[in-house]
Structure 1
């Protein structure tokens, strides 16, 4: 079954019963449809052994992900979305994911194999990623971690950058992901990164530079100007990528907390080390001593360039990629202070905010604890 049939059925109210029989009656179209399958709920239930807890491989705000084995033997990941009938939360993400991914083909983007629309049930089927997410292998439980050397971290960073550059500049109309973070970077058996979870993504139509939208994403990765105004641009993703890049190099959590010092921000730590001319202290000790120091310094500097407070000072993703590969020289490039979302209590994700005290420069952050919330 093909994408357009499934997609058109997704616009029905979730309280209405939509079956695969109804979908099959509709006329499919679209150049990429031959790779997209509409599955029955029964097929996916069987593949995941009844969506058993032992098959669960992930969980987020919009639903759970299960490992499944289809009748033909292929291994897949099945996301079962939680649909809220009143707010349509979950349904919107389902439609956004399908409408975005079925038209995108790139080595560093997750592959959507199909969907299931059955009554109020909304499921998405992806290629299975053997190494789960970057968050799992970098910051997860000890048994899930992989000791990543420099070459692996370099390849993952470049892969994510290529995927984002493709979304931002090669795809027409351009796409802003809006939730770049370690848990949304999946890794296949060869540790090739795949940008995933396009439920919050937005399309920049008619060559517009920005759109105004509700603030959504994950605290720690949120660009300050976006958290402040709801003004979404491609530079919003660039900021998130910068944070992610620093995370990959350091192996540190984006936001950490302890009783003695309160909250620690990775962006703040990187900036302080840069100012102290001790930037290599940020490199994860797991990497060891035998790594290219100049390249590590370049990667950290690019990360800091991407999280600069003023969005206009951040490079475009294609430029950031060229900086990482040393095709654009950054020697002598001035790096200004990063901005951080500091007053977390004033942010309510899902609503546009008008507070003017949301962000401060990294060196001015207080170390007092504040409440964290997130939307994944």
Structure 2
């Protein structure tokens, strides 16, 4: 009897010891995260559940933290959380962590060497931050790592050769940093695309166009320069796809087969430069194929083709459309992109007229933020900076997760600060064109901001930018109609009737940002990076207070103007009046 009692007591002691060890481990991990939180700057609504000492406690789990059944932290996912600060080396003590996602924030400082102690880590994403210093060679200890994303930071130095020995690493992104030296050739580097190293002008190696000093010259047949592809005609057909660095060259027969010989039933869009088709390759890969018009090999179409290839090659961001490949023959110019399953903002807004479910308010907010981040990248992080020049709902594409992807760079242009950016013809879409661009032909980042603001209004209202059914009310332009309703404090009337559930505060926030972006004076419009901050909860009320002061001043100036004869209704702020005046002869 005593023996049984002793065995039972030992079992209970063992169980209590296991439980206490689990709790102690979790609590220690919780303290690491709480201490890190205390060093960060973040919006009020972020990390609000990070309290207490146990991130895995069942009745009070922490947002964006996942735990295993033993109560150990295994995942931290704080991407796009508007966090500012540095990364703590104490992360290295969260021993069972298999996924660390801190992308699209404002982290600075260096990558802690202690991350190399995370022996269970499978996925590491620190992309789109402001991290500097070198890539720690200790990351070469992460033998289970599958994905490493360090792109779009300020990292410098060489790529650690230790990364090439990682047995499970399948995907690596180092683009748009300040890295230098030779790119390793073994392991994951042997199969990586040149796009994974773009934006690092001091890198060299076999994967990119930049040869290392002392390497033998490459033959012309292995060149990956895009220039000869655009400038010279290729043969009408080739038997196999040829890799062009980050791009893939397709044969015309492949794209004909993929689109059923460019059948009209596969058409998913068209514009002034050509038609876009959905295509399916023999392996099931879905593509969007833009077939450019080649009427007499016009200079305009040839320039548009070259522009899109060059722009997409310069810009790499999760919210920008990626060029997958191309096809050129003496009679064809085709651009190949990933297929966007949910088409575009415009498509989604229109399809509700046929009974399809509408995008939710939260989806619209997320789309607005994603598009803003893509444009902010073009304006402020590309070198040279890029103006899109045709920002509209048709060109905000949506992937299978409804993530916004800014596309159609056919009218885009790099900013050359040596000239005045005057164009000989106004390019863009009526209703989205900024007034100063129509009057002077000068495009700038602020013309993109204006087009983005109109797109926000479309997300709020579900309407097109131009509606002739309101001609009798002088509200043909969506912006004029919205401004009128805002003055009347009648926001509810402008909300998309298909949007059955919404938070009025969310709608008003989007509306405020939209009206700030569509100010007639371009200098009063925010930068796209400021738009991102406002959508993430920073600085909107201050900017809106300034807007209201300007509005009071504008209303007072209108009252002080001489009264017009009865029946005259000329509003100088009217977008429609400006469009009519500017469309006349000049």
Query: TM-score band (shorter)?
Result: 0.7 to 0.9
Equivalent position SS for 1:362: coil
Equivalent position SS for 2:296: coil
Query: 1:201, 1:369 → 2: CA distance?
Result: 25
Compare relative contact order (CA 8 Å, sep 6+) and give the higher one, 1 or 2.
1
Shift of 1:139: 2.4
What whole-Å deviation, never above 9, does each CA across 1:205-264 have from its counterpart, x for those lacking one? 3x5695111310001000000111111110010010011111111111111012644652
Length-normalised TM-score, structure 2: 0.53
Query: 1:209, 1:303 → 2: CA distance?
Result: 30
Shift of 1:170: 1.1
> Where does the alignment leave 5 or more consecutive residues of structure 2 unmatched?
1-192, 195-222, 555-569
Shift of 1:329: 3.3
Q: 2:529 aligns with which of 300, 308, 318?
A: 318
Q: 1:159 aligns with which of 345, 351, 370?
A: 370
Query: 1:202, 1:297 → 2: CA distance?
Result: 33
* CA shift in 2, pair 1:179/1:101, >3 Å: same
What whole-Å deviation, never above 9, does each CA across 1:39-98 have from its counterpart, x for those lacking one? 111111111111111211111111111111113321111110002336422111111000
Query: 2:410, 2:571 → 1: CA distance?
Result: 29
Length-normalised TM-score, structure 1: 0.82
Q: 2:234 aligns with which of 2, 9, 18?
A: 18
Equivalent position SS for 1:300: helix
Q: 2:547: which partner in 1?
A: 334
Shift of 1:325: 1.6
Instruction: Tell whether the 8 Å contact from 1:309 to 1:361 is kept in structure 2 after alignment.
Output: no
Instruction: Tell whether the 8 Å contact from 1:261 to 1:367 is kept in structure 2 after alignment.
Output: no
Q: 2:567: which partner in 1?
A: none
* CA shift in 2, pair 1:20/1:36, >3 Å: farther
Instruction: Tell whether the 8 Å contact from 2:305 to 2:333 is kept in structure 1 after alignment.
Output: yes
Report the aligned-residue RMSD.
3.1
Query: 1:64, 1:36 → 2: CA distance?
Result: 21
Query: 1:138, 1:120 → 2: CA distance?
Result: 36
Query: 1:329, 1:76 → 2: CA distance?
Result: 39
Higher CA-based Rg? 2
Query: 2:511, 2:572 → 1: CA distance?
Result: 18
* CA shift in 2, pair 1:144/1:321, >3 Å: farther
* CA shift in 2, pair 1:308/1:371, >3 Å: closer
Q: 1:272 aligns with which of 470, 480, 484?
A: 484
* CA shift in 2, pair 1:364/1:304, >3 Å: closer
Q: 1:285: which partner in 2?
A: 497
**How many residues of Structure 1 are paired with residues of Structure 2 in the alignment?**
339
Query: 1:223, 1:59 → 2: CA distance?
Result: 23
Is 1:101 matched with 2:312?
Answer: yes
Instruction: Tell whether the 8 Å contact from 2:352 to 2:498 is kept in structure 1 after alignment.
Output: no
Instruction: Tell whether the 8 Å contact from 1:209 to 1:233 is kept in structure 2 after alignment.
Output: no
Instruction: Tell whether the 8 Å contact from 1:305 to 1:314 is kept in structure 2 after alignment.
Output: yes
Instruction: Tell whether the 8 Å contact from 2:268 to 2:276 is kept in structure 1 after alignment.
Output: yes
Moved more, 130-139 or 278-287: 278-287
Shift of 1:8: 2.4
Q: 1:212 aligns with which of 416, 422, 426?
A: 422
Is 1:198 matched with 2:409?
Answer: yes
Shift of 1:192: 1.0
Is 1:9 matched with 2:220?
Answer: no
Q: 2:272: which partner in 1?
A: 61
Instruction: Tell whether the 8 Å contact from 2:385 to 2:415 is kept in structure 1 after alignment.
Output: yes
Is 1:81 matched with 2:297?
Answer: no
Matches within 5 A, 1:101-140: 101-140=312-351
Query: 1:99, 1:176 → 2: CA distance?
Result: 13
Q: 2:120: which partner in 1?
A: none
Q: 2:396: which partner in 1?
A: 185
Equivalent position SS for 1:85: helix
> Where does the alignment leave 5 or more consecutive residues of structure 1 unmatched?
340-358
* CA shift in 2, pair 1:196/1:136, >3 Å: same
Instruction: Tell whether the 8 Å contact from 1:20 to 1:38 is kept in structure 2 after alignment.
Output: no
Q: 2:462: which partner in 1?
A: 251
Query: 2:411, 2:309 → 1: CA distance?
Result: 12
Shift of 1:130: 0.8
Query: 1:181, 1:286 → 2: CA distance?
Result: 21
Query: 2:344, 2:331 → 1: CA distance?
Result: 28
* CA shift in 2, pair 1:360/1:171, >3 Å: farther
Query: 1:240, 1:209 → 2: CA distance?
Result: 23
